[in-house]
Every structure is written in C-alpha cells, then in structure tokens.
Structure 1
Amino acid sequence: MKLRTILTAAALALAGFSQATAAALEKTSITLGVGGKPLFYYLPLTLAERLGYFQEQGLTVEINDFGGGAKALQALIGGSVDAVTGAYEHTIRMQAKQQDIRAVIELGRYPGIVLAVRKDKAETIRSAADLKGATIGVTAPGSSTHIFVQYLMAKAGLGTDDASFIGVGGGPSAVAAIQQGQVDAIAHLDPVISKLEALDAIKVLVDTRTAEGTKAVFGGTNPAAVLYLKKDFIDANPNTVQALVNAFAKTLRWLEKATPEQVAAAVPEEYWLGDKDLYIKAFVATRPIYSVDGDIDPASMKSTLDLLTVTDPSFDAKAIDLGKTFDGSFLKKVPAQ
C-alpha cells in the first residue's frame, strides 16, 4: 500500500506540474509544419510526438505534413502553421527576403542527404559533373535536397539550371520514381535511400550521412533540420517556444541513447516501408546526423551561407546577419535531466 500511495502521489504531482506548465503557456495548441515526416531527417519530430514529450510540456501539437520543406516554409510565411521543422538554410534565405525567421534548436548536424544515380545510368553519370541534361528527383523544388544538388553541380562547374528537377515527395513515391524510370538520379534521405540500395536500384555518388561525407562536401559540419519560427511569434510566445525546445531537447537525449530496435518500435509501422530490418539498418547508417546538444556554432552557420552563395551568385551574403538566424537562449533554459 505504501508503494501505491507513493506512486499515486508522484502521478498527482506530475499532473499538477503539467497543469501548471500548461497554464503558463501563451498557446497550448500549436500547428507545426514539416516536409516529409517519415524521413529520418525529421525523426526527432516523430519521436517527440510518439514518446509524449509535447504532451508532457502541456502542448497539443497538430502536425501538417507537406510534400517538401519549401512547402512547409510557405505555410509558415502564409500563417497556416505556427512553427516548422525544416532546413536551417531557410532562415538565411528568408532574412534576405526581409522575413525574420529564426531557428531555436538544431535537430540535425549533418544533412543526411544522398545523391544517387539510377543503376542503369551509372556508367554515364559518375559524378555531379555528369548531371547536365539529367532529370533529378528531389523531395520538392526549393527544398534542401534540391539546393544540395544545385550546390554539387555548381562546384562541378555546371549551372544550377543545367538539369531538370522533379518533386517526388517522400516514402513510396520517391522509391517508385526511380523504379519506374521517372528520374535519372535522386537526391533524398533515409529510409528511401536504404530501400533503393536494398533493391539494387541505385548507385550512391555523394553521401552526407556521416561526418566524413559531410566534410568532403562542405569542408565541415552543415546544420540540417531545425525548429524554426517567426521572430514575432517567438517574442509573443516565449513560454510556448521554451516548451517546444524542452520537448525536442529531451528527444535528442533519448535518441542519443536509444537502440535501433527501440527507435523502430517507436515510429509508425508504415515508416518501415514494409521492412523493419531494413529500417533498422537505415537508422544505423543515418544515426550520426542527429544533433547532440541542439546548438549551432558560427562556423556551421557560415557553411550554410556559403552553400547559398554558391548556388545563387546574386545572393548578397554581406546583407545577412547570421546571429539573427539562430536564437540559442531557449537551449540555456532547458531543464537538466
């Protein structure tokens, strides 16, 4: 009976804490946009949802999954979502357009994007320099996968419009695009890439799922997925933003220690693309991409700015204040575990 009394008291205390937390929030219901939720790029979002960490912070989070990161960004600018888990580079691009969008926690420190060519095109497309005239599948035009290929092409001496780009979405539609010959090459993420490798349908040309692969492309780390919001929303809802950051920070800590089997068990079965063992294998290959502390250092910010200036020579890098693309103040207030 004593143990039951203690457990009941603890549960009531936790409930009271949650209610107190919720009462302090400016908004308890949040609409969050993402472009391809089943992809490993956004795994921390799915885990925060499935592990109950949003609810623990007193938040009800409605997730809208769009065809790609660019569409999720458009939803934020248009006001149909409050926040986005998307590529850090969008905060820089929007600043150039006089839109104050700021990241508050890094979820991925490496892009995790892979450029691969359809197997029957492997003899003619051996590197980014051979992509001229090719049709390339990306998650969505304007998304990080699209910009990534443009960056590789520009570094190889090609124009960013020397190839055709098709949005193939995520999951089964991306796999089908290669299998049905709709595209010659694809820039995508896991589990799509691992599924295509298992089907022996592609040959990998560039791989940023590891520190080594990312350094080979960018010369160092390169921030990937982040949680970003409009500056005016952050200013008006600091407690709500803190709750979101708390939930994602706890997720990153869980992810750092979780086994591949625990991760697979935590996500919806449809994320496995019909093969749980393959999903686990893909997670192992992708695991290094996730941020450990959620912070973004100045060198990594500069790396992303360089990516944008290479893909768009007209981009005015001098007009960008990188210090206004990331607000690390909420990370400093995350409760210790």
Structure 2
Amino acid sequence: MKKLLALALTLSLALCLLAGCGQTKPASDPAAPQEGQDKELEKIIFTEPVRGYHWAPAYLAQTLGYFEEEGLEAEFQTVTGGDPAAPMFAGEAQFTLAGIEMALMTNEMGQGCKILVSPTQKYPYQLIGANEKYSTMESLKGGVIAGGQGATSAPQAFSRTCIQAVGMTPDEDVSVVSMASSAYAAAIQAGEIQAAVSTNPWSAKQLLDNGGVVIVDGTDEQEIKEMIGSSAYELFAIITTDKFIQSNPETVQKAVNAMAKAMKWMETATPQQIVEKLLPLFEGAEEELLYDATYDQEHKIANFTGYHTEEGFKAGVEMTKLSGGIKTDMTADKVYDESFLDKAWETIGK
C-alpha cells in the first residue's frame, strides 16, 4: 500500500495553465443595489478560468450585497485562452479564482501570492467509464481517458493518479488525452475514448445519463485518501498577490469579510436559495446550478470556514512537487494568508 500511495502522489492537480496571458471577457455582472449608498463603491476585479459553482462565496458576496456592505463592487472576468492569474499579477485585477497548485507553482517562480479563502474541502472530480464494459481501472488498459485541456490540467493529473493508483503506467497502459468536456459525448460515441473525468456534478450527470459508470469518486473520503494520502483536499482557492496585500490591506480585509459573510449564509441556506442568489451571474444555468448545489450539500464539498487543513496542504505540496510542478518543499505560510479570515470571523462570528 505504501508503494501504491507513493505512486499516487506523483501528479499535481494543477487547475490553471501557467502559460501566456489570454484575453479577458467581462461577465455580465449586475451591481448590487445601491439605495442609500452615499459614497462611491470601490471596484475590485476577480479573474477566473471558468464560471464555476465551487467558487460560490465570491459570487454570493456580490449578489447578496455583502461586497456593497463593505464598500466594494465586484466584477468577474472569465479568461479564455491563457492564464487566468496573469491579469492579477499584471495589476489589471485584484483577485483570481484558481487552484492550490497555481499558488504553489507561482510562488516558486517568484510571483508571490497568497490563498485568502479555500471554499471547498473535498475533491469534486469523478472518473467515469463510457459504459458497463469500462467500469474498472483494469478494464481501461489499452484504452484512452479524456482528462481536460492541457498536460498540466487538474483533470489530466487526476486521470494519471487514478491509473498509477492501480499499478498501471500512464501513456503506456492507458493513454490520457487533452479534450474539452463538451466533446466527451461525441468521442465516447465514436469509440475514441473509454473514460472521461468530470470536474463537477453536472458534467458527471451528463455522462451517467448516457450510460456511463463511476470508476473513481473523488468525493468518497476513503477512496480519495487511499489515492492521495488525504481525505481532505482544498483544491479551489481565492487568491491575491503579495504586492496587493502589502499595498491595500484594507481592501483585502473588506473582500474577505464579504466572502466570510457569504460562507456563513451558505451554510444554512437551501440549494434552492443558493441557486436563486447565484443566477444573476449564471444566466440560463438554473438546472445545472440546482444539481450542483444539491450534490454539494449531500457530499459536504463546501468549506464554510475558508481555512485549509494541514493534511490537505501536505498532499497538495507532495503531489505538485513529485510531478515536477514545484521542485522544493514549501511551507503553508508561503502559500496562505488566513489572517484576514481570522479578523473576519472575529468581527462577524462563526
């Protein structure tokens, strides 16, 4: 088993590509109501690789009016074709929605940044076989897994970890290819892939509704612990630069206060209530949001404190280091600044 776990810890779960900067596409983000607001709100910009449910506290802080309460107004920009963090490092945005691996890798590269809030506590991915014929890892030998776009993407890393966890070798026993999730169904029908990684509950549902079978469930605590050595994995993150923390600590505190309020609200809200408040930023995605929100609550994926765990951090460091994403050991103080969370919870109460 030790050998198995060592093999499983050879891949990082990088969420964002660290290549050149792509173009940013402003989202249609309605401003929170400003009745009674005497002074102008300070504008803050979040960049994101996609509009994703698991960063809900950032979105809800805007739609619930918590940013406004703190004197802020947020805009969310989806970056396509490049690195979502690049505008943040260039000073064109203040925050980015990304993954722990991005923070690890950019810090080692000398681009100092800190994770302020970790909005999830479990790994939400699933590896799904095309049909009953492909219901185990062993049945995929000689086949192909579709694992997201880019060799360093989190879905590809998850695919490779699943392969190594059963003693097989990626790209020898089982191939892993780059593919957008929108192309999964057609590729399965054409026999081009035998399995695919779903990165959220809704995408998993689409595969399962078409005859797919779950092979590995990342939300299963025991199953994922056997693979990566930890039942906790705070994959999703809300990040800012060291430079912005140093120059604008009050703005950072206000932003974290608002997101802490959103997490506190989320903890007691129903899936229907969460969806209602998210819809202004997810136009036309009501069915998908409701499914994700319900699955999230049933599987306890959300993190309502925003803090990381030592177990999850160590797993992230080892996986990123052993895969070549980073070359040196890293301590949590280089990656997290949760002092703003401390102050937020002191103010609003948990």
TM-score, length-scaled by structure 2: 0.75
Q: Is the 8 A contact 2:128 2:207 kept in 1?
A: no
CA distance in 2, matches of 1:153, 1:232: 40
Q: Give the alignment partner of residue 200 of structure 1, picking from 210, 219, 223.
A: 210
Partner of 1:3: none
Deviations 1:253-276 (A, max 9, x none): 11111112212222325223x567
Change (3 A) 1:46 1:62: same
Contact 1:154 1:311 in 2 (8 A): no
Change (3 A) 1:270 1:51: same
Q: What are the equivalent positions in structure 2 for 1:168-187 lying under 5 Å apart? A: 168=180, 183-187=193-197
SS in 2 for 1:223: coil
Contact 2:200 2:292 in 1 (8 A): no
- For 2:337, give the aligned amino acid: D
Pair 134,182 (structure 1): closer, same or farther in 2 beyond 3 Å: closer
- C-alpha distance in structure 1 between counterparts of 2:50 and 2:307, whole Å: 23
How big is the alpha-carbon RMSD for the aligned residues of Structure 1 and Structure 2?
3.1
Per-residue deviation, 1:305: 0.8
8 Å CA contact retained: 2:54, 2:236? yes
Matched residues in 2 for 1:144 and 1:97: separation? 19
**Is 1:49 paired with 2:68?**
no
Letter in 1 for 2:312: S
Aligned-pair CA distance for 1:207: 1.5
**One-letter identity of the residue aligned with 2:118:** E
Alignment match, 1:104: 116
Give yes or no for the alignment of 1:118 onto 2:130: yes
Question: How many Å separate the matches in 2 of 1:129 and 1:317?
Answer: 36
Within a 5 Å distance, the mapping from 1:157-168 to structure 2 comes to: 157-159=167-169, 161-162=171-172, 163-168=175-180
Residue 225 (structure 1) aligns with: 236
Distance 1:129 1:328, change over 3 A: farther
Structure 1 residues 79 and 140, CA gap change in structure 2 (3 angstroms)? farther
For residue 250 of structure 2, give the secondary structure of its aligned residue in structure 1: helix
1:262 and 2:273 aligned: yes
Aligned match of 2:93 = 81
- Structure 2 CA distance, aligned partners of 1:208 and 1:58? 38
Q: 1:57 to 1:184 in 2, by over 3 A?
A: farther
Letter in 1 for 2:307: D
CA contact (8 A) 2:121 2:303 kept: yes
Note the C-alpha offset of 1:177.
Answer: 6.0
In structure 1, give the amino acid aligned to 2:339. Answer: S
CA distance in 1, matches of 2:245, 2:150: 27
The secondary structure found in structure 1 opposite 2:210 is coil
Per-residue Cα deviation, 1:53-101 (whole angstroms, up to 9, x for no partner): 2222222222112359x73234434554321111112111222222212
Query: Offset of 1:249 from its aligned partner?
Result: 1.0
| Structure 1 Cα separation of the partners of residues 317 and 122 of structure 2 | 15
Change (3 A) 1:142 1:71: farther
CA contact (8 A) 2:47 2:79 kept: yes
- Specify every segment of 5 or more residues in structure 2 that has no aligned partner in the other structure, as ranges: 1-34
Report the structure, 1 or 2, having the larger helix content. Answer: 1
CA shift for structure 1 position 32: 0.8
User: What is the rounded CA distance, in whole Å, between the counterparts of 1:71 and 1:87 in structure 2?
Assistant: 12
Q: Which residue of 2 aligns with 1:62?
A: 75
Aligned to 2:342: 332
After superposition, the Cα gap between the structure-2 partners of 1:239 and 1:129, relative to the gap in structure 1 and judged at 3 Å, is farther
- Which residue of the other structure, out of 76, 83, 90, is the alignment partner of 1:71? 83
Q: Secondary structure at the match of 1:66?
A: strand
Per the alignment, do residues 116 and 80 of structure 1 end up closer, same or farther by CA in structure 2, a change over 3 Å counting? farther
Give 3-state SS (helix, strand or coil) of 1:107's partner.
coil
Separation in structure 2 between the aligned mates of residue 247 and residue 174 of structure 1, nearest angstrom? 37
Distance in 2 of aligned mates of 1:210 and 1:51: 31
Given the superposition, is the C-alpha separation of residues 128 and 232 from structure 1 closer, same or farther in structure 2, using an over 3 Å criterion?
A: farther
User: 1:271 maps to which residue?
Assistant: 285
Is the 8 Å Cα contact of residues 118 and 303 (structure 2) preserved in structure 1?
yes
CA–CA distance in 2 between the matches of 1:263 and 1:176? 32
Deviates more, 1:86-95 or 1:324-333: 86-95
Q: Distance in 2 between matches of 1:223 and 1:108?
A: 5
Q: Is the 8 A contact 2:48 2:77 kept in 1?
A: yes
Matched letter for residue 76 of structure 1? M
TM-score, normalising length from structure 1? 0.78
Aligned-partner SS, 1:289: coil
Percent pairwise identity: 21
